[in-house]
Amino acid sequence: MNLINIKCVVAIVLVLMFITGCTKSEPKDAITSITSIELECNTPISEVKCENQSFNDEESIKIFEEAINTAVEMLGQLDYSAEYNMTISYSNNATKNYDLSLRSDRTMKGLLVDQGNTSQGYEISVDHANKLRDLISKR
pLDDT per position as a tens digit, 2-34? 545 555 444 454 444 444 444 444 444 444 799
Q: What's the confidence (pLDDT) of residue 47? A: 55
Q: Which of 136, 129, 82, 137 is nearest to 107 (CA)?
A: 129
Mean pLDDT of 45-58: 80
Task: Write out pLDDT tens, residues 53-107.
Answer: 999 999 999 999 999 999 999 998 888 888 999 999 999 999 999 999 998 899 9
Whole-angstrom Cα distance, residue 101 to residue 46?
9
Mean pLDDT of 117-125: 94
Task: Write out pLDDT tens, residues 93-115.
Answer: 999 999 999 988 999 999 999 99
Between 134 and 7, the more confident residue is: 134
Whole-angstrom Cα distance, residue 18 to residue 14?
6
36's enclosing H/E stretch is strand 34-41
Annotate 77-125 with three-state secondary structure: CCCCCCCEEEEEEECCCCEEEEEEECCCCCCCCEEEEECCCCCCEEEEC
pTM flag (> 0.75): no
Q: Which of 18, 13, 37 is nearest to 135 (CA)?
A: 37
Q: What's the confidence (pLDDT) of residue 80? A: 86
Q: What's the confidence (pLDDT) of residue 135? A: 95
Q: What's the confidence (pLDDT) of residue 139? A: 64
Length of the chain: 139
Q: What's the confidence (pLDDT) of residue 113? A: 96
